[in-house]
Amino acid sequence: MRTGDEMPRLGFGTYGRTGPEGVAAILEALESGYRHLDTAQSYDTEAEVGEAVRKSGIGRDAVWLTTKVATGNLGRGAVVPSLERSLEALGVDQVDLALIHWPSPNGETPLEVYMEQIAEAKAHGLAARIGVSNFPVALLKQSAEIIGAGEIYTNQFECNPLFQNRILTEYCDATGIIVTCYQPIAAGRLSGEPTLRRIGAAHGATPEQVALAWELARGWAAIPTSGRAERIQSNHAARDIALTQQDLDNIAAIPGGTRQINPDWGPDWD
C-alpha cells in the first residue's frame, strides 16, 4: 500500500497493456492491490492507465503514477510540453514521478539540455519527483552535477536474478537512488533456474515470485506486467514471501547472464 511520499516498491508495468484489454489488466492490478502504475510516452498506455484509475474508484492520492519521457521529446523546449500532454492523456494534474526514459540516442542531444528540462518540469509542478531510466553510473554522476545531488529519485533499468547489474545497483544503493527493476522476472526465463526453483519449493512459491521477493528484500522497486489475471495476482502475492538471508545470498550467487534490452543506440553500459 502507499504510505505518504514513499513509492510503493511493487508496481505494475503497463508496457503492452493497450486498448480495452489493457484497461482490464490495469484494473485487475488495482483490484489485486497494486498502488503503483508505471507507464511511458512510448508505451502509448497513458490513456489506459488514466481510464483504469478512474474506473477503479480508488482515489488519485492512493495511486502512484510514473511516466517516462520518450527519446523523441528530449530536444530543447520539448520535455515540458511532452509531459503536459502526458498529464492530459492520464487525466491528472501531476504525476508522482517523471523519468527520462533513455539517454539521448548516440548522445545526439546534450545531457544538460534534457536534464535541465526535467528539473524544470518538477519546478512547474508537472511531476512531484524526477528520475531517469537506463542511465549508467557515468551519466548519473553527470546528471547530479547538472541538476544537483539528491534530485534523481530513482533509476529504472534491467535487473533480475539472471542479470543482476551489480555495478549499477551498488552505485545507486550507495548514493540513495532507488533501484527500479524492469524485466524483474526476466520475461519468463526464470522457470528453469535451479536456485530459484529450490527456494520457491521451500516457500511454496514460483520462481517468479522468488525473484520479486528478492528484489523487494533488497529495498528495490520492481514493475512486473502481465495481461493474465492469475499472473497479475501471483506476482502481487510475492509481497508476502519472506526470504531468509541464506536465500538472498544464494540468489546473489547465481551466475551473471546477459542483458536483454540493448539497443545499438543505447548508452555505454557499466
3-state helix, strand, coil in the chain (%, to 5): 45, 15, 40
Active site residue 43: yes
Q: How far is CA 235 from CA 3, 32, 91, 162, 242, in A?
A: 20, 10, 27, 17, 14
Q: How far is CA 127 from CA 69, 94, 123, in A?
A: 12, 5, 8
The β-bridge relationship of strands 64-69 and 221-222 is unpaired
Query: How many whole angstroms separate alpha carbon 258 and alpha carbon 165?
Result: 10
Please, what is the Cα angle at 106 between 86 and 157, to 5 degrees?
A: 55
- DSSP letter at 205 equals -
The β-bridge relationship of strands 97-100 and 130-133 is parallel
**Catalytic choice (15, 34, 43, 114):** 43
Q: Are 153 and 131 in contact (CB under 8 A)?
A: yes
Query: How many whole angstroms separate alpha carbon 220 and alpha carbon 142?
Result: 23
What cell was used for 117? 528540462
Say which amino acid occupies 41.
Q
- DSSP letter at 71 equals G
Task: Write out the catalytic residue numbers.
Answer: 43
